[in-house]
Amino acid sequence: MTVAQTEPANGGLKREMGLMSAINVIISVMIGSGIFVSPTAALKYSGSVGFCLVVWAVCGIISLLGALCFAELGTVVPRSGAEYAYLIEAFKKTNKFWGPLPSFICAWVYVVVLRPAEIAVIILTFAEYSILPFSNILGLKNLPEEDLHNLIKLIALLGLGVITYINLSSVKLYVTINNIFGFCKVFACLIVIFGGIYQLAIGNTENLSRGFAGTNFSPGHIALAFYNGLWAYDGWSSVTTITEEIKRPEVNIPRSIIIAVPIITGLYVFMNMAYMTVLSPEEMIVSEAVGLDFGNRVLGSFSFLIPLGVALSTFGCALSIQFGVTRLCYVASQEGQMLEPLSYIHLRRSTPTPAVAMQGLLALAFILVGNIEELIELASFLIWFFYGSAFIALLTLRKTQPDTPRPYKVPLLVPIFALGVSIFLSVVPIIAEPSPKYFFALAFILSGVAVYTPFVYYKIRPSWMDKLTYFIQVLFEAVPTAEKTE
């Protein structure tokens, strides 16, 4: 039983995002709180300021190469969903059971745990830093720790409600707000950089003059330095998650990547250099929030700009991650790998309202549960596993679909190199820090297989699903897209 079957949302999602919006999506997801709060692991393992800056620069180049592979995939498979869409296109016809399984596991990990848990952690960080500039005025430092914790959680819930409302309302509203926050977070980064330039101008070069002294040449430490640096760059694939809403994706996706990733690389390298003008390597490694320490020493009465910058960055980051993962829900549902109503869109707003609402509820659950950082560590190392799977999909599609038009095409060595990096990043954490959590990750994947087998492969559909579908359609004024009704 469904509603409005004769009035499908015409063509599904609308292309309302141009080049600037695509650039800001990448910037919003890549720049969160990390570069302001804890850009220390790369320094700790590299051992010297000189090699640390090299690591940040090389990590930017590696991220750009990986993103260019996704740019080609986005032209061959012009669907939203990024890795999911590429895996389903490359492998679903190879074997009836095993072919669609990798894409389902990708959706299972991202949709059910990883992205909503990330949103929860990021929005909690937003709440914590949004009150810092006002802590003295409002006397928050005198609050009991439990009351302060509850206040942060309340603000986080309000923030989650706001981003969910924005993504429910309209793509245009998301684009407008995301563009504003994107410019604001870049401005916050530039404040740090120009603060560092000023410090260099007045002669604070002692820390930087250490150069490569103390570099740790241990292969294990070098590997961990690059591992942590590349995690800070994660998010470069975000624009391909929303391909179906990008105007002229064959042009704007490669352009947005080629513009955004080098910009962020420059910001990251120069921000680390700025931090090093006033903080010694030893101080940076033990600092709980490098950006705050930098602001207190350099910006004086304007030091509140750093926590404000963190708040802006984290809000925009959470907003864009939620926007992207709902599109993955949308595509996975169209393929029959998620609940069918998740592929429905609002009758007038052209937003996948059921998928947005589900992601809002999952993030809400993670916020209420708390202590989910370990859960993110549990699943996060799988991100590069899925990146690697996407690079394999690129190589597979080159072989199986050689005649498919490719408006943008990377040299063959690039996906091969990116695949090697993804294998390295998937294996390093297991070798460097053996932990039972990786067995839990495997158990979560196996639980996905347990869901996939009856409900996706055998297409078992409980009798109550018709009533649930009807309820969701009425509640969200959601209708099937034209693709679903044909």
- Alpha-helix runs per DSSP H in 217-248: 219-232
Q: Which residue has the tokens 């064959």?
A: 250
For residue 407, give both structure tokens.
Answer: 């408006």
The SS3 assignment for 477 reads: coil
For residue 479, give both structure tokens.
Answer: 């209708």
pLDDT at residue 483 in the model: 53
CA 456 to chain CA centroid, Å, is 27
For residue 321, give both structure tokens.
Answer: 């991650």
- Alpha-helix runs per DSSP H in 289-352: 290-298, 305-334
**137 or 404: which leads in pLDDT:** 404
pLDDT band at 98 (very low <50, low <70, confident <90, very high): very high
For residue 230, give both structure tokens.
Answer: 């590349």
- Alpha-helix runs per DSSP H in 346-412: 353-369, 373-380, 382-400
Distance, CA of 353 to CA of 171 (rounded, Å): 11
Distance, CA of 388 to CA of 421 (rounded, Å): 8
H/E stretch holding 345:
strand 345-346
User: Mean pLDDT, to the nearest integer, of 155-160?
Assistant: 95
The SS3 assignment for 346 reads: strand
Q: Which of 296-305, 324-333, 410-419 shows the lowest mean pLDDT across its residues?
A: 296-305
CA 243 to chain CA centroid, Å, is 15
pLDDT at residue 372 in the model: 64
Question: How many of the other CB atoms lie within 10 Å of CB of 5?
Answer: 12
H/E stretch holding 278:
helix 249-278
User: Mean pLDDT, to the nearest integer, of 142-169?
Assistant: 90
What DSSP assignment string belongs to 124-164?
A: HHHHHHHSGGGTTTTTGGGS-HHHHHHHHHHHHHHHHHHHH
pLDDT at residue 243 in the model: 92
For residue 80, give both structure tokens.
Answer: 């939203």
Distance, CA of 2 to CA of 147 (rounded, Å): 46
pLDDT at residue 270 in the model: 95
3-state helix, strand, coil in the chain (%, to 5): 75, 0, 25
Bridge partners of 17, per DSSP, are: 246
Q: Name the nearest CA neighbour of 26 among 236, 171, 229.
A: 236
On the question of pLDDT at 4 being above 60, the answer is no
Structural contact between residues 181 and 188, judged by C-beta atoms closer than 8 angstroms: no
Structural contact between residues 275 and 42, judged by C-beta atoms closer than 8 angstroms: no
Q: What is the pLDDT of residues 204-246, one digit of tens each?
A: 888 898 888 888 888 878 888 888 888 888 889 999 999 999 9
pTM: 0.91
pLDDT at residue 383 in the model: 85
The SS3 assignment for 414 reads: helix
In terms of Cβ atoms closer than 10 Å to its own Cβ (0-12, 13-18, 19+), residue 48 is middle
pLDDT at residue 77 in the model: 92
- Contacts made by residues 245-248, CB under 8 angstroms, sequence distance 24+: 245/13, 245/14, 245/15, 245/16, 245/17, 245/80, 245/171, 245/327, 246/15, 246/17, 246/22, 247/15, 247/16, 247/17, 247/18
Distance, CA of 425 to CA of 419 (rounded, Å): 10
For residue 349, give both structure tokens.
Answer: 């707003």
Q: Name the nearest CA neighbour of 269 among 24, 115, 63.
A: 63
On the question of pLDDT at 296 being above 60, the answer is yes
For residue 21, give both structure tokens.
Answer: 């919006």
DSSP summary character for residue 402: T
Q: Which residue has the tokens 């750093």?
A: 306
Report the percent of the chain where pLDDT is more than 70.
94
DSSP summary character for residue 258: H
On the question of pLDDT at 318 being above 80, the answer is yes
